Amino acid sequence: MARELRYPRGQVLATNNLAFAAYSAGDLDDALRLVRQAGQIPDIPGTATRICGAILAGMLAEAGDLAAAEQAGAATLAQARDAGDMHLGDLLRVMADLDLRAGRFGDAAAHLREATHSALSVGHWAVMLNILEACGHLCAATGRPADAITAWAARERFSQQAPLEDGELRRREGALPRARPPPRSRRPRPRSAPGSGSWSGWSPRAPPMRRSPPSCTSASAPSAPTWTGSGTRPAPAAAPT
């Protein structure tokens, strides 16, 4: 329909949603193909191009191609800064995830701090779910289990209707085997894609941190499905220190 209407933004949204569906079905190859296809649609606005770049970075990280993910993420971040785009929260969170995997803890903290300020400044509180999850993993990796549990408890408080998926729970248990969070009720929700959150609605998830396919959503671009909450806006969270 978007093609028939010659509506490039609609084509991008539909193609990215197909990519999220493929990701949720476990077909990363098809998800990556579709995200790349979305970024090559003619005459799409710059915002949509950056959304595709952020989602691509998150999905590449999920696929284990960390070098390509860093390249795509850095290029997209530079484009966003040049354009004065303030909707960087989940893209910065994806970059923090890549820093964490590479052992660059200082860079990860800096990216998460900036991601927090960005998400709160534009009111994308859903992206804070991804950021808080990432903060917990950073704290766990740097020997601060109490802080990790605090960050994850805040994440759970903000998303009681969007419990973690099994893969996310396993990652937490691996990070802090001696400090497992208390059990919580499980309700089905759509699997979020990497990079998901404020830009494109990637929250495709709150994605576990390594999901990350990105939650990239822009205020001017339609967001991809993430999770449905109560509609109540939580109190702003403090920036990570």
Q: Which residues of 229-238 are buried (b: 16+ CB within 10 A; e: fewer)?
A: beeeeeeebe
Reported as a single tens digit per residue, the pLDDT across 89-125 is: 889 999 999 999 999 999 999 999 999 999 998 888 7
Q: At 197, is the pLDDT very low, low, confident or very high (cuts 50, 70, 90)? A: very low
pTM tops 0.85, yes or no: no
Task: Fill in the amino acid letter for 238.
Answer: A
Reported as a single tens digit per residue, the pLDDT across 7-66 is: 999 999 999 999 999 999 999 999 999 999 999 999 998 889 999 999 999 999 989 999
Contacts of 116 (CB under 8 A, 6+ apart): 89, 128, 131, 237, 238, 239, 240
Find the radius of gyration of the CA atoms of the chain: 16
Count of other CB atoms within 10 angstroms of residue 117: 16
Domain boundaries, the chain: 8-216
Distance set, CA 217 to CA 144, 171, 211 (Å): 31, 25, 15
Q: How is domain 8-216 classified at the CATH fold level?
A: 1.25.40
Can you point out the beta strands (E) in 73-213?
195-199
